Amino acid sequence: MTRDSTNQTLKDIGEKLRNERESRNWNVAKIQALSGLNPATISRIEDGSNPLVATLLEYCFALEIHPKELLDLEMDVSPKIPPSKNAEAKKFAYTAGVKQLIKDGFFSSWKSTGEVLEALEEKFQVKELVSKNISSALGKLVKNDALIVSRDENPYLYKIKKDPKKN
């Protein structure tokens, strides 16, 4: 194998991983929360420039074995940090997750805390979220002018704050 084929293989592996992550509608922060890897490492893996993976490939190529032979093992493929037990994954869902829902247009109409909870659990596959923590995250976003709240309703309802420049 030549250096060019190693580089292409790394890019192919990274592309497969990125495509799988994106097909699940996960962002890098979700992978970080489940794996303990830092975002820079995740980025290097996905763009095919992780030197540790390159070293492993070069070793396999030196032995003239395909890397899949090396990895064809029985193994537990669950995340290093299980999402249902991981405070970081839940913290992600409460903060960055709600911000992602805003970006996705979820709050274009009024939403209750319960609806937000269901959307977060579905989108980020994190279970056992606590509604009071979601309410707290929503309250911070109201305070930061990202959302508005209707306190006339029970439960409170939240909606995206319209950009005055677009009106």
Which letter does DSSP use for residue 146 in this model? S
Who's near 79: CB < 8 A, 6+ residues apart?
34, 35
d(CA 21, CA 121): 17
* Domain 83-160 in the same topology as domain 3-71: no
**Residue 106, pLDDT above cutoff 90:** yes
pLDDT value at position 164? Answer: 45
Tell the residue number behind the tokens 């537990």, with chain if given: 76
Q: CA 69 → CA 55, 66, 75, 78, distances in Å?
A: 16, 6, 14, 21
**Residue 44, pLDDT above cutoff 50:** yes
Sketch the domain layout of the chain as residue ranges: 3-71, 83-160
CATH number belonging to domain 3-71: 1.10.260.40
Q: Which of 30-39, 126-135, 139-148 has the highest mean pLDDT?
A: 139-148
Instruction: Note the pTM of the prediction, 2 decimals.
Output: 0.48
Name the residue type at position 150. S
Q: Which CATH number fits domain 83-160: 3.30.70.870, 1.20.210.10, 3.30.70.1450, 1.10.10.10?
A: 1.10.10.10
What confidence tens digit (pLDDT) does each residue in 107-133 have?
999 999 999 989 988 887 777 778 888
